[in-house]
Chains A and B, each alone.
Chain A
Amino acid sequence: MSDQYSTEPLLEMYLFETSQLLEQLEQSILSSEKESGYTEDAINEIFRIMHTIKGSSAMMLFDNIAKLAHSIEDLFFYIRKEKPEKMDLSALSDLVLEGVDFIKTEVDKIKGKSPADGNAEDLVTTSKTLLAELKQMNAVPDISLITPAPVAKSTAQTTAEDILETQHYYISQANTPVSNGTFAYKAVVHFEEGCEMENIRAYTIIHNLKETAGDLYYLPADIIDSDESVNIIRKDGFQIFITTDWDYRKMHDFLMQTIFLKDMELTSLENTSVLDQFKKKDTELVEKPIKMPTGKEVNVVEKSSRIPLQEKEALPTNTTQSIISVSVVKLDKLMDLVGEMVIAEAMVIQNPDLKGLQLSNFSKAANQLNKITSEIQDIVMSIRMVPLSATFIKMHRIVRDMCKKLDKDVQLEIIGEETEVDKNIIEHISDPLMHLVRNSVDHGIETTEERLEKGKPKSGTITLEAKNAGSDVLIIVRDDGKGLNKEKILKKAKENNLLFKNEEDMTDKEIYNLILLPGFSTKEKVTEFSGRGVGMDVVTKNIEAVGGTLSVDSVADKGTVITLKIPLTLAIIDGMNIKVGKSRYTIPTISIKESFRPKESEIIHDPDGNEMIMVRGECYAIRRLHDVYRVATNITRLSEGIIIMVEQDEKTVCVFADELLGQQQVVVKALPQYIQNFKKIRGLAGCTLLGDGSISLILDVARMFNH
Chain B
Amino acid sequence: MAENYSRLEVEEDTQKDRYLTFLIGEECYGFEIKHVTEIIGIQAITEIPELPEYVKGIINLRGKIIPVMDVRLRFKKETLIYNDRTCVIVVDVNDISIGFIVDQVAEVMSIPEEDIVDPPRVHKGMNNKYIKKIGKVGNSVKLLLDCEMLLTDQESEEVNEAV
Residues of A within 8 A of B (CB): 1-2, 5, 336, 339-340, 343, 583-584, 628-631, 669, 671-675, 677-679, 681-682, 684, 687, 689, 693-697
Contact = CB atoms under 8 A, between A and B. Distances in A.
Given A5-B1, A669-B65, A674-B67, A693 B60 contact: yes
6 contacts: A629-B49, A629-B50, A631-B47, A671-B65, A672-B96, A687-B65
- The residue among A340, A583, A584, A675 with the most chain B CB atoms within 10 A of its own CB is A675
B80 interface: no
Nearest to A678: B51
Nearest to A688: B65
A336 B63 contact: yes
Interface string B105-144: 0000000000000000000000000000000000000000
Among B48, B55, B59, max chain A CB count under 10 A is at: B48
A687 B1 contact: no
A47 B125 CA distance: 74
Given A672-B66, A695-B58, 13 more contacts: A340-B62, A340-B63, A630-B49, A631-B49, A669-B65, A674-B98, A674-B151, A675-B55, A678-B55, A681-B49, A681-B51, A687-B46, A687-B58
A128 B102 CA distance: 72
B63 to A, nearest CB: 4
Residue with the greatest number of chain A CB neighbours at <10 A, chosen from B4, B44, B49: B49
A343 B48 CA distance: 22
B21 to A, nearest CB: 24
B50 A583 contact: no
A1 B3 CA distance: 12
Interface in B30-71: 44, 46-52, 55, 58-60, 62-63, 65-67
A460 to B, nearest CB: 48
B29 to A, nearest CB: 20
A694 B46 contact: yes
A693 B1 CA distance: 43
Interface in B1-31: 1, 4-5
Given A1-B1, A628-B49, A681-B50, A673 B60 contact: no
Interface of B: 1, 4-5, 44, 46-52, 55, 58-60, 62-63, 65-67, 96-98, 151, 154, 158
A282 B158 CA distance: 86
A695 B49 contact: no
A694 B60 contact: yes
A678 B59 CA distance: 17
B interface, over-half SS: mixed
A695 B63 contact: no
A677 to B, nearest CB: 8
B63 A678 contact: no
A697 B60 contact: no
A678 B44 contact: no
Contact of A671 (B48, B59, B63, B158): B48
Nearest to A676: B67
B60 A678 contact: no
Nearest to A695: B46
B5 A1 contact: yes
B50 A672 contact: no
A678 B62 CA distance: 24
Given A673-B96, A678-B52, A695-B58, A339 B47 contact: no
A7 to B, nearest CB: 13
A332 to B, nearest CB: 13
Nearest to B151: A674
A594 to B, nearest CB: 26
Nearest to A677: B154
B50 A695 contact: no
B44 A694 contact: yes
B1 to A, nearest CB: 4
A675 B63 contact: no
Given A678-B154, A687-B46, A672 B58 contact: yes
Contacts of A628: 49
Contacts of B62: 340
Contacts of A693: 60
Nearest to B96: A674
A8 to B, nearest CB: 13
B60 A689 contact: yes
B99 to A, nearest CB: 10
Given A1-B1, A674-B98, A678-B51, A689 B63 contact: yes
Given A631-B47, A682-B50, A687-B46, A671 B154 contact: no
A583 B48 CA distance: 9
Contacts of A696: 46
Nearest to B63: A340
A675 B96 contact: no
Contacts of B66: 672
A689 B44 CA distance: 13
B63 A339 contact: yes
Contacts of A2: 1, 4
Contacts of B48: 671, 675, 681, 684, 697
A498 to B, nearest CB: 28
Contacts of A672: 58, 65-67, 96-98
A343 B63 contact: yes
B46 A697 contact: yes
A285 B122 CA distance: 84
A629 B44 CA distance: 18
Contacts of B158: 678
A339 B60 CA distance: 13
B11 to A, nearest CB: 16
A583 B58 CA distance: 12
A695 B98 contact: no
Nearest to B52: A678
Contacts of A674: 67, 96, 98, 151
A671 B58 CA distance: 8
A120 B99 CA distance: 53
A630 to B, nearest CB: 6
Nearest to B158: A678
B67 A695 contact: no
Nearest to B51: A678
A581 to B, nearest CB: 9
A695 B59 contact: yes
A369 B98 CA distance: 34
A678 B48 CA distance: 12
A657 to B, nearest CB: 14
A686 B50 CA distance: 15
B65 to A, nearest CB: 5
Contacts of B63: 336, 339-340, 343, 689
Nearest to A683: B49
- The interface centre, meaning the residue of B1, B4, B65, B97 with most chain A CB atoms within 10 A of its CB, is B65
Given A583-B46, A695-B65, A697-B46, A675 B51 contact: yes
Contacts of B44: 694
Contacts of B98: 672, 674
Contacts of A695: 46, 58-60, 65
B17 to A, nearest CB: 26
A538 B154 CA distance: 29
Nearest to B69: A674
A677 B67 CA distance: 12
Kindly list the 8 A-B residue pairs having the minimum CB-CB distance in the complex, ordered from nearest: A2-B1, A629-B49, A695-B46, A340-B63, A672-B67, A674-B67, A675-B67, A674-B96
A675 B48 CA distance: 9
